[in-house]
């Protein structure tokens, strides 16, 4: 029996998707719940899995854009693999003879490859993006050190690995990145692989925008054209929060398995400020104002495909460790291309941290229909006047971009002052004042 593989509905406003890559080959035997392909929509990437065991017959090739509900392949539950089954593209190539054409392939998760330097860990899962690179470059995953969660391979790991199965050299940087849930950012793929022309010939290259990049561009223009955006600034003395992190960082990581960062405490400070200034947590809907008694905080995450803003729902009910873990989970999902449409919906306020890239000051753009966004920046030692004396303190500029149709300047300034008070005196966050 043949069963159609259709493009699933991934959100009310999503009408089409692009096939980013096929993880299985035409004629290959697949198992139920194997990842067949990666879809790219204008909001997120979505994995499509097999609903039955059988032989895959691909009808639409990678790179094509199709409507939601379209048939892109079929699975013949009575069929036999036509070209000799293989494990998924994530499996390392083998010099042994291929199995017989009638033997079904094991699921991708059943073909682990041990990580170098981590004998107890096994590579039991690769993201679609990593699978594609491994297959294209014929990389021996058993010789690559994984720096992701639980020793998993990231795109940065395989991009830095030699092609053709040669062992990859480990580095101090790789070891350091393994300690953090956010892996080191891989080197960008050059637009012109051969580099500048030795003869000085001028070249041009047109590269189609991805659906996600198109949507980002569209929303940014809509934001600028449909809101009366204004930005106000303040600066925060980070001395106490730095002391707090230094005092408890080891115990925090020992208990929760993650580092104590700035974002959890800033999110808590933002929630207290939102409680004090409800209009910053509200939307304009037509000629009405929609207020919210909950706080869904969007966290801007930079990915290779563009900026995404997954949302921590009901953040007011979470502790600082729970917020940090939610941020960590979103970072991992974004890295692996697994952010869903549901992850991106429902935000009432957003936070973006350009400081991780070295930004000293910026004016964030609103994420409609939200009325405001907080911008965090790089912490830098500066000379400031404290009680009439010049002292060197770690200072951070913060920015609040807001829709002036909804929020008055007095409220915007008061909002930032409230955040400043919470971060400069973290005890206030414990008693919510």
Note the pLDDT tens digit of each residue in 152-164: 677 666 666 665 5
Domain assignment of residue 116, given as a range: 108-177
Residue 402 sits in the same domain as residue 338: yes
Average pLDDT estimate for 290-307:
87
Average pLDDT estimate for 331-340:
81
State the sign of the Cα–Cα–Cα–Cα dihedral 406, 43, 261, 390: negative
Q: How high is the pLDDT of residue 141?
A: 74
State pTM to two decimals: 0.62
- For 23-36, what is each residue's pLDDT tens digit? 888 889 998 888 88
Residue 221 sits in the same domain as residue 298: yes
pLDDT at 326 over 80: yes
Domain boundary among the residues 129, 160, 177 is at 177
Residue 329 sits in the same domain as residue 420: yes
Pair of tokens at residue 100: 């017989």
Neighbours of 278 (CB within 10 A): 13
Neighbours of 89 (CB within 10 A): 21
Q: Is 307 helix (H, G, I), strand (E, B) or coil?
A: strand
- Binned at pLDDT 50, 70 and 90, residue 346 comes out as very high
Confirm whether 85 is domain-assigned: no
Residue 70 sits in the same domain as residue 125: no
Burial (Cβ within 10 Å: 0-12, 13-18, ≥19) of residue 397: buried
- For 393-420, what is each residue's pLDDT tens digit? 999 999 999 999 999 999 999 999 999 9
Q: How high is the pLDDT of residue 37?
A: 87
Burial (Cβ within 10 Å: 0-12, 13-18, ≥19) of residue 204: exposed
Confirm whether 98 is domain-assigned: no
Residue 148 sits in the same domain as residue 276: no
CA 203 to chain CA centroid, Å, is 33
Average pLDDT estimate for 234-258:
93
Residue 233 sits in the same domain as residue 301: yes
Residue 131 sits in the same domain as residue 279: no
Residue 253 sits in the same domain as residue 383: yes
Confirm whether 44 is domain-assigned: yes
Q: How high is the pLDDT of residue 378?
A: 95
**Residues labelled catalytic:** 404, 408
Average pLDDT estimate for 353-379:
93
Instruction: Report the domain count for the chain.
Output: 3
Confirm whether 205 is domain-assigned: no
Domain boundary among the residues 76, 93, 127 is at 76
- Binned at pLDDT 50, 70 and 90, residue 167 comes out as very low
Q: Is 286 helix (H, G, I), strand (E, B) or coil?
A: coil
Q: Report the candidate in 46, 56, 49 with the shortest Cα–Cα distance to residue 79.
A: 56
CA-based radius of gyration for the chain: 25
What is the number of alpha carbons within 13 Å of residue 312 lying toward its C-beta?
29
Higher pLDDT, 413 or 226: 413
Q: How high is the pLDDT of residue 412?
A: 96
In the predicted model, what is the mean pLDDT of the chain? 78
């Amino acid at each position: 029996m043949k069963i159609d593989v259709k493009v699933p509905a991934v959100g009310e406003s999503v009408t089409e998707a692009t096939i980013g890559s096929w993880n299985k080959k035409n004629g290959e035997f697949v198992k139920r719940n194997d990842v067949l392909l990666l879809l790219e929509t204008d909001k997120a990437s979505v994995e499509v899995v097999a609903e039955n065991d059988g032989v895959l017959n691909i009808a639409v090739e990678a790179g094509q854009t199709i409507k939601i509900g379209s048939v892109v392949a079929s699975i013949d539950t009575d069929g036999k693999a036509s070209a000799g089954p293989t494990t998924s593209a994530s499996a390392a190539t083998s010099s042994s003879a291929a199995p017989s054409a009638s033997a079904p392939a094991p699921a991708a998760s059943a073909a682990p490859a041990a990580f170098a330097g981590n004998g107890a860990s096994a590579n039991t899962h690769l993201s679609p993006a990593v699978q594609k690179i491994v297959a294209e470059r014929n990389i021996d995953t058993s010789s690559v050190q994984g720096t992701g969660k639980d020793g998993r391979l990231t795109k940065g790991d395989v991009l830095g690995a030699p092609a053709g199965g040669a062992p990859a050299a480990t580095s101090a940087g790789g070891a350091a990145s393994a300690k953090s849930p956010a892996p080191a950012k891989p080197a960008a793929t050059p637009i012109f692989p051969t580099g500048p022309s030795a003869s000085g010939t001028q070249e041009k290259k047109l590269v189609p925008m991805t659906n996600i990049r198109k949507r980002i561009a569209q929303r940014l223009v809509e934001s600028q054209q449909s809101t009366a955006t204004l930005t106000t600034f303040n600066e925060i003395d980070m001395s106490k929060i730095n002391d707090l992190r230094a005092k408890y960082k080891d115990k925090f990581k020992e208990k929760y398995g993650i580092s104590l960062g700035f974002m959890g405490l800033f999110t808590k400070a933002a929630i207290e400020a939102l409680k004090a200034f409800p209009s910053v947590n509200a939307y304009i809907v037509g000629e009405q104002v929609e207020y919210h008694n909950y706080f869904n905080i969007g966290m801007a995450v930079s990915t290779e495909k563009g900026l995404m803003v997954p949302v921590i729902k009901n953040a007011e009910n979470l502790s600082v460790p729970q917020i940090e873990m939610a941020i960590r989970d979103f970072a991992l999902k974004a890295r692996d291309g697994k952010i869903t449409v549901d992850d991106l919906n429902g935000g009432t306020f957003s936070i973006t941290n350009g400081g991780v890239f070295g930004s000293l000051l910026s004016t964030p753009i609103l994420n409609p229909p939200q009325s405001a966004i907080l911008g965090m920046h790089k912490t830098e030692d500066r000379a400031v006047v404290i009680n009439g004396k010049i002292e060197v303190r770690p200072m951070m500029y913060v920015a609040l971009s807001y829709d002036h149709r909804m929020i008055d300047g007095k409220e915007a300034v008061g909002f930032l002052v409230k955040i400043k008070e919470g971060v400069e005196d973290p005890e206030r966050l414990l008693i919510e004042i």
